[in-house]
Amino acid sequence: MNRFALSATGLVAASASAAPIEINVTFDRWVSEAGVQVFDSASSLVGSFYVSGGYVFGGGALSIASFAYNASGYSSPGYDLIMGGDLAAGTYTIVLTDTYGDGWSWGGVPGGVSGYGLNASGDPLAFTTSAGSVTGTFTVVPAPAGLALLGLAGLSRRRRG
Segment 50-86, tens digit of pLDDT? 988 888 899 999 999 999 988 776 656 688 999 999 9
119 DSSP assignment? T
150 found inside a domain: yes
Residue 53 lies in a domain: yes
Please state, for a pLDDT cut of 90, what percent of the chain lies above it: 50
Residue 130 lies in a domain: yes
Whether the predicted pLDDT of 159 surpasses 50: no
On whether residue 100 sits in a domain, the answer given is yes
Measured from the Cβ of residue 125, the count of other Cβ atoms closer than 10 Å reads: 22
Note whether residue 160 is domain-resident: no
Q: What is the pLDDT of residue 150?
A: 43
Of 32-41, 47-56, 101-110, 148-157, the range with the highest mean pLDDT is 32-41
pLDDT at 13 over 70: no
Asked whether residue 161 is domain-assigned, the answer is: no
> Of 146, 147, 139, 112, which Cα lies nearest the Cα of 21?
139
Distance between start and end Cα atoms, the chain? 6
Domain span at 60: 2-155
**Region 13-39: what's the mean pLDDT?**
85
Rounded to whole angstroms, the Cα distance separating 31 from 63 reads 17
Q: Is the pLDDT of residue 161 over 80?
A: no
Identify whether 133 is part of a domain.
yes
Tell me the C-alpha distance between 138 and 141, whole Å: 10
**Total domains present in the chain:** 1
**Count of H-run helices and E-run strands, the chain:** 2, 15
pLDDT for 143 beyond 90: no
8 inside domain? yes
